[in-house]
Amino acid sequence: MADRIPNELTEQGSPDWSRRQFLWGLGGLAVAGTVSLLGRQGIVSAARSLFGSPVTSGAFNLYAFDYYYVPNYMVWRVGDYLEVTFQNQSHTHWHEWTIGRHVNESYFQAFGELPADAWKVDFWDGVPVTLSNPYKIDNFVPNKAIVTYEGPKSLYNIASGGDFSPTLKPGGSLTLSFQVPDKPGIWDFGCFVQQYIHYRTGMRGIINIIKA
C-alpha cells in the first residue's frame, strides 16, 4: 500500500471542469456588477443555485493544488454515501482539507502564535467517517469526528488540537468514506496551512448540502 501511486487526474475532476465552473462565476460577476474578491464565492454560489448543479455522489476525487482545490464547488445530499479520495497534486507543498462554517478572520491579522482551529463550527463534529488508503500523511486531526481507521493506525500520525483535518505531504492521498450527515446548507472548506496563506490565496471551496 505504501507504494501506491496516486491516481492520475480523471475526466470527472479535471482542471477543465473547474475552469468551466469558474466561467459560470464570471458570468455571475458580470450580472451582479461586483468585483469584490471576497464576494466572488458568494456570487458563484448564487449563480449555481439559479442554474442548478449536479449532485455529487459515490466515489470521487478532490485534488489539492497550489493553491486551489478541484473541484471547488460540490453539492451533496443528506444521507448519500460518499467516498472522497483527497489527493495532494503538489510536488512541493503540504495541503489539508477542513470543512466548517464561520472562519475566524481575526486570526488573519494575528501575530505570534495562532490558535490551531479556524472554523467556529467544524463540519465533522459527531460524523462517523472511515479513513483508508493512507499515503504520505503528514498528520491527521480527528477532533470530534467518529473515526474508523483502515490500515495501520500509525500511518495516520494522529494529532490533537484544531479542526478535523487530514494534512497530506506532497503527492499524498487519503480516502474518506462517510454518509452525508443531516447538516444541510452551505459549508466552506479550505486549507489553513502556512498560517492561512493558502486559504487567503484561494485554497477554498463551497459544499452545498441539500436535504434528501
Give yes or no for residue 155 binding Cu ion (CB under 5 A).
no
- Residue 211 to residue 180: CA distance in whole angstroms: 10
DSSP E strand boundaries for 14-164: 58-65, 68-70, 73-77, 81-88, 95-96, 98-103, 119-122, 128-141, 146-149
Cβ-based nearer residue to Cu ion, 82 or 191: 191
Contact 138, 159 (CB under 8 A): no
Q: Using the rule CB under 5 A, give the single segment among 7-15, 80-88, 105-113, 186-194 that binds Cu ion.
A: 186-194
Cβ-based nearer residue to Cu ion, 13 or 205: 205
Cβ-based nearer residue to Cu ion, 187 or 196: 196
177 - beta bridge partners? 83, 130
Q: Whole-number minimum distance, CB 188 to Cu ion, in Å?
A: 14
Cβ-based nearer residue to Cu ion, 86 or 123: 86
Q: Which of 198, 204, 205, 206 binds Cu ion (CB under 5 A)?
A: 198
166 - beta bridge partners? 140
Can you tell me which residue has the cell 491527521? 140
Q: Which of 137, 145, 191, 207 binds Cu ion (CB under 5 A)?
A: 191
Give yes or no for residue 168 binding Cu ion (CB under 5 A).
no
The helix-helix angle for 37-51 and 15-32 (nearest 10°) equals: 100
Cell of 172: 499524498
Cβ-based nearer residue to Cu ion, 77 or 200: 200
Q: Whole-number minimum distance, CB 15 to Cu ion, in Å?
A: 17
Cβ-based nearer residue to Cu ion, 105 or 182: 105
Q: Whole-number minimum distance, CB 182 to Cu ion, in Å?
A: 29
Cell of 151: 490500515
Report H helices in the chain: 15-32, 37-51, 197-201
Q: Whole-number minimum distance, CB 162 to Cu ion, in Å?
A: 14
Q: Whole-number minimum distance, CB 203 to Cu ion, in Å?
A: 5
Report the length, in residues, of the chain: 212
CA 94 to chain centre: 14
Q: Whole-number minimum distance, CB 65 to Cu ion, in Å?
A: 9
Which residues from 59-118 bind Cu ion, rule CB under 5 A?
A: 95
**Interaction site with Cu ion (CB under 5 A):** 95, 191, 193, 198, 203
